[in-house]
Amino acid sequence: MKQVLAVLVIACISYTAFSQEVKLNTNLVVEGDGTVRMDAGAMVWDDLRVTLDKGSNAATLENFSGAGPQIWYFKNKASVEAMSFTVQLPHTWKQGTTIYPHLHWTPRATASSGSNVEWNLDYTWAIYNSATPEVFPAVNTITVISPGPFTANTHQITALTNNNVGLVANDKTISSILICRIWRRSDNTNDTYGSDVGLLFLDFHYQLDTFGSRETFTK
């Protein structure tokens, strides 16, 4: 690690006067202004974490496993139970790359195979454009199925796009916003799991290519 940092420092000092881009290898670049950029195979991922705490048809806040700390539970045989949230794409994000929403959750009871939980994700996504403010488009809904069997109080992860294809972001930029809702409707034929499900966390996997952005609203 010390050797890598030394190389970075020497490279930056040597080329500052010329404001030239320095390639330390095919994947790591120091730009003329000192910005470190990751290209090609230097693929680094992080979690864009979401706080779920609001909704008019909200899940129920109850003790996990009957005691102690509380989590949000989506009840069995309810109509729509939902939690809403908003997400802002960070300045480290590699603009235009696909983001991957996924849900961490826990089943309240053990169930055999054939017990499915239906999850639904609503979202609308708009960029920030100071010259011509963008209107949020119509809301999209994605429906995915988490198939059993399940063991009570286990940590489950479900991709919130089918086959984990993610959300395509060809025209999206940093500071763009998603308005979202995660919901379960357990009174239909797709949701055959006969118990409550507890919400642990929702986040998005996203790819990074810099430590931040050069400007406040542009990469």
Task: Mark whether 38 and 108 lie in a shared domain.
Answer: no
Task: Mark whether 1 and 75 lie in a shared domain.
Answer: no
Domain span holding position 123:
43-208
Contact 100, 205 (CB under 8 A): yes
Task: Mark whether 66 and 104 lie in a shared domain.
Answer: yes
Residues of the chain with pLDDT under 70: 1-19, 21, 23-26, 28, 34, 41, 55-56
Task: Mark whether 160 and 134 lie in a shared domain.
Answer: yes
Contact 68, 198 (CB under 8 A): no
Chain centre distance of CA 25 = 30
Task: Mark whether 34 and 63 lie in a shared domain.
Answer: no
Contact 44, 219 (CB under 8 A): no
Model confidence pLDDT, tens digit, residues 121-170: 999 999 999 899 999 999 999 999 999 999 999 999 999 999 999 999 99
| CATH number, domain with residue 129 | 2.60.120.260
Residues 6+ apart with CB under 8 A from 62: 70, 71, 73
Specify the pLDDT at position 207.
94
Specify the pLDDT at position 7.
44
